[in-house]
Chain A
Amino acid sequence: MMREMTGAEMVMQALIDQGVEHMFGYPGGAVLPIYDAMFHQNQVRHVLVRHEQGAVHMAEGYARSSGKVGVVLVTSGPGATNAVTGLTDALLDSIPVVCITGQVPTHLIGSDAFQECDTVGITRPCTKHNYLVRDVNDLARVMHEAFYVAQSGRPGPVVVDIPKDVQFAKGMYVGPENIQHRTYQPRLKGDPEKIRQAVELMAGAKRPIFYTGGGVINSGPEASRLLREFARLTGYPVTSTLMGLGAYPASDRQWLGMLGMHGTYEANMAMHDCDVMVCVGARFDDRITGRVDAFSPGSTKIHIDIDPSSINKNIKIDIPIIGDVKHVIEDILTVWCSMKAEPDRQALAGWWRQIDGWRARRSLSFQPGDRIIKPQQAVKALYNAVKDKDVYITTEVGQHQMWAAQHFHFEEPNRWMTSGGLGTMGYGLPAAIGVQVAHPGSLVIDIAGEASIQMCLQELSTALQFNLPVKIFVLNNEYMGMVRQWQDLLHGGRYSHSYSESLPDFVKLAEAYGGKGIRCADPAKLDGAIQEMLNTDGPVLFDCIVDQKENCLPMIPSGKPHNEMILPDHPEALDDAISEEGKMLV
């Protein structure tokens, strides 16, 4: 399809042709023509945010829960710079986002014009790719390329910066069917020889483990299904990173829980002692490995990843397989069956006995309070109340995030959105709003902390405006809890600026926005209060007053290997857990 139209009309037409139904944005001088073009159509619904950071997080939540590309539209200068945190978040967590930014007209670029900034310069290191479109005849191609790049290979954010004169200029629009990217063609199928080697190694394993990550989720629901099929076929244990939760069902016997700094004892010990590690779509991040030179010392490592730069970045890999998780597991399954491979049942039985021994340590246990609500108890109560519902969970960043990962259990992929790589406080509420836009009939809950929630709280107004009944479940311990915990660990309990001073009355605050506020501080009333939240049609801000002193355990102290975890039955080990060297780490 070739048609003459203005740049602004091309943007809308490209969005329509890319199948976009929703976008998140905020108008301003340099994007007014696009907003005007939007005014003349009904196919793309625009959600007006209150801050551009919120817009990107909404697009992220939308993308992660639906598998589609999240779309953002912001103006030049501050519009673009406010989006930077969200873009970086999407880059680190590999979330497909297309962010359209307005720019001052071409002839003013470089003159320090009003609301001018070097958007492509600023966003170059925090996007997968970005474009400045100086000629309206490039615009349609760039728009389609942006969608292609954002969702192909390892997904990520793409910025399209469009000067205002280009939005007004007329040119020829081309449809997506005529666009093929010249160079960017990521490889999906794994090398058959490597796959054969991997199957042989896996079949001979005595103490195997699957270490799965966000790549399984990004590869689509079929990848999760294949992972489950292969895990059941082999009987091997499965653990996952924070980003991969839900790819494997938490109720399954082979599930060890999350691994890493606040993962379970059994997952970390099994990682440390395994002889064959199969890493599927994860990237050996420092939260996972602990001390790298003591990471799983006796294992042979297979790494499946679509991004070659993930291989051998932190940990030396024996069998790298570059490809999309879905395709690679599919091929592994075929080879496994054609080779009539069988797991070593006897060795496996012994391995499971060892794992069950670690499990018996019950590393996630806690003492529920009868006068004060323990944060873990609150997450557990929430989980029990909603587990049979069609529910999506987002979080902010901190202790509550880890407690949510530990005590809320996921059976399906795309149900859990959290800021893993960047650790962005303020992510959860806008992400929840984005999820709710994609799934209007579902229950969407942001498990939050009282400090994080204040970072993007203004988006409550967006939720009200668009009738998006998100529930915000705040674990209020009046501290930036993870900061306080680390001050306990590293700085002699001197709580320098980690107390949440001058907190607002969250109930009144919710009411001020037009939502509902609920407060609960009594363990006996917790279940009833949660029911009240669930029975409310609109947005709810639930202020759950919890124990101020609770630490997030178990924990691998920084600079320590997997087999030196601190467990909740010996919390005193926290006191001198971290060496001088470990203090340098984050």
Chain B
Amino acid sequence: MPPVSEPAERHTLSLLVDNEPGVLARIVGLFSGRGYNIDSLTVSEVSHDSRRSRITVVTTGAPMIIEQIKSQLDRLVPVHRVVDLTVEGRALERELALIKVRGKGELRREALLIADSFRARTVDTTLESFVFEITGKPDKIDQFVSLLEPLGLVEVSRTGVAAIGRGPEPM
């Protein structure tokens, strides 16, 4: 049992893995089996030739737990690399969200104004609804969603965080 006194930290991890059946189940199973948190998870193939996928996991835990998570992930046979972007520092984090708002009259105009100031795009329009597309850091999206809440927010679909380090070097 690690000391509970250490406060939890939020870390963004980037994993390069073989895109083979079951690899995501291995990673998700590791988190659930060992009681770690997943705040956000994104996965997609990034190299079709070498069949590599990149997974971005955002997790929270005490420093000792974060260290455990990284070494446990690194131990999985199809995992090539584990990089802690939070430790590397200043990484870019982006998330995309599609947000549906329903309303008429003044509420509708207000929603459009807010969308505009957040540089969200309107990707679907009916006489009584909009779907906005917004890209940004997770907290920007949080803020956008909370502003739309009183204006007829219907549903939200978020991709989860994709992240990459700054500068010329790869992970």
Contact = CB atoms under 8 A, between A and B. Distances in A.
Nearest to A183: B80
B68 A184 contact: no
Interface in A105-145: 120-121, 124-125, 128-129, 132
A292 interface: yes
A309 interface: yes
A124 B72 contact: no
B12 to A, nearest CB: 20
Contacts of A311: 71
Contacts of B76: 129
B67 interface: yes
Contact of A312 (B26, B67, B77, B80): B67
Interface stretch (B17-25, B111-119, B145-153): B17-25
B77 A308 contact: no
Interface string B77-114: 11110000000000000000000000000000000000
A531 interface: no
A120 B3 CA distance: 35
B1 A313 contact: no
Contacts of B2: 292, 314
A120 B71 CA distance: 23
A309 B25 contact: no
Nearest to B26: A124
B75 interface: yes
A236 B21 CA distance: 50
B133 interface: no
Given A183-B80, A293-B3, A308 B26 contact: no
Contacts of B8: none
Interface string B11-35: 0000000100110011001100100
Contacts of B77: 128-129, 149, 183-184
A167 to B, nearest CB: 19
Nearest to B25: A124
B33 A313 contact: no
Interface string A167-192: 00000000000000011100000000
A313 B70 CA distance: 11
A308 B75 contact: yes
Interface residues of A, number: 21
Interface string A263-303: 00000000000000000000000000000110000000000
A124 B74 contact: no
A183 B79 contact: yes
Given A124-B26, A124-B29, A182 B18 contact: yes
Contacts of B74: 308-309
B38 interface: no
Given A124-B26, A124-B29, A182-B18, A309 B79 contact: no
Contact of A292 (B1, B25, B68): B1
A183 B29 contact: no
B122 to A, nearest CB: 41
Nearest to B72: A309
Contacts of A313: 68
B64 interface: yes
A309 B75 contact: yes
A547 interface: no
A118 to B, nearest CB: 10
B75 A125 contact: no
A307 interface: yes
Contacts of B72: 309
11 contacts: A121-B22, A121-B25, A124-B26, A124-B29, A132-B21, A183-B80, A184-B77, A292-B2, A309-B68, A312-B67, A314-B1
Interface of B: 1-3, 18, 21-22, 25-26, 29-30, 33, 64, 67-68, 71-72, 74-80
Given A292-B2, A314-B2, A316-B64, 16 more contacts: A124-B26, A125-B30, A128-B77, A132-B21, A182-B18, A183-B18, A183-B79, A183-B80, A292-B1, A308-B75, A309-B68, A309-B71, A309-B72, A309-B74, A309-B75, A312-B64
